[in-house]
Amino acid sequence: MAQLATLFTDFPLELALGGSLSPIDVAYQTYGTLNADKSNAILLCHALTGDAEPYLAGGEKGWWQDFIGSGLAFDTDRFFFICSNVLGGCKGTTGPASINPQTQQPYGSQFPTITVQDIVQVQKALLDHLGISHLYAVVGGSFGGMQATQWGISYPDQVERIINLCSSLTLSAEAIGFNHVMRQAIINDPHFYGGDYYDRQPPSNGLKIARMLGMLTYRTDVQLARAFGRETKQQTDVWGDYFQVESYLSYQGLKFLDRFDANSYLRLLRALDLYDPALGYPNEQTALARIKAKYTLVGVTSDQLFKQIDLHKSRQRLENAGVAVDYHEFYSNFGHDSFLVDYDFFEPMIKKALVE
């Protein structure tokens, strides 16, 4: 079970786009042992709908279950890993469903717009709380990769290595478009109530539809064709889940309702859209030039969300700013989600990045 820290009690977190939050609860988990000089700490940054527990004991599976353990890619015999639920989430860290101390009601529509920069600032406060002033590495996939990059910008002297898996420096217009459609599905659900739905029926249909669309960007046509093809279900309404692939998407959407909040989904999608390394600096090159860490970037050629061309452009932008980038790419049937499941591909690259 995740641990909890309450931060920003003496002063509020001033948000990058205005507004503030205080106090902020942060759910986090640790794995491995911190060494005497605290030089083996690695921060793991989760993707959009992840949480603070990439590894779970007792038979359940965390989102990086097969990557963490003795001798594995994230070797708990050697390193001490910290993972926290992001600001704005709904898995223990302060977000829209949390109680606003000013009103004693859930924040709901009053929860401010947050950025990756705000998320990283909260992570830094957690590490200060834990007495860790230096990170051997920051590792993240997808939305977590953006967080890892921002760590190198915001705290260049406190990070030795950045490992960015399947994430470009900024989101493409197409990806922003997908996120817009997902948001509209939620916002136009009759039970959204402007975001203040916590004492009534939530916008479940809208959130379910949003998740189904999101799943199509995380996977590939090859994987879906192999898994489902044009197979149909027996004895079903032609307007319902007639094809097996439709049934799969409906199941994923329904399952998502049990673990995520619509307002958190809206806030985090927008933080993904808004990520700009140049925020707070004269231009992007000035921001990226602050990175001193060894930077590893891994792309997947079949990724339909963070496409190969976007990863290539990100590599070039980093190198133009003087960042030494170790770039790898490969093909996977799993597309964007490969960084969560394709252990055999990612394991040697992660180990190499953590050793060299």
Residue 259 marked ligand-binding: no
Catalytic-labelled residue, pool 75, 189, 276, 303: 303
Residue 342 marked ligand-binding: no
- Give the 3-state secondary structure of the chain: CCEEEEECCCCCEECCCCCEECCEEEEEEEECCCCCCCCCEEEEECCCCCCCCCCCCCCCCCCCHHHEECCCCEECCCCEEEEECCCCCCCCCCCCCCEECCCCEECHHHCCCCCHHHHHHHHHHHHHHCCCCCECEEEEECHHHHHHHHHHHHCHHHECEEEEECCCCCCCHHHHHHHHHHHHHHHCCCCCHHHCCCCCCCCHHHHHHHHHHHHHHHCCHHHHHHHCCCCECCCCCCCCCCEHHHHHHHHHHHHHHCCCCHHHHHHHHHHHHHCCCCCCCCCHHHHHCCCCCEEEEEEECCCCCCCHHHHHHHHHHHHHCCCCEEEEEECCCCHHHHHHHCHHHHHHHHHHHHHC
Catalytic-labelled residue, pool 98, 142, 302, 314: 142
Catalytic-labelled residue, pool 46, 332, 336, 338: 336
336 is catalytic: yes
Question: Which active-site residues does the annotation give?
Answer: 142, 303, 336
Known binding-site residue numbers for substrate: 211, 337
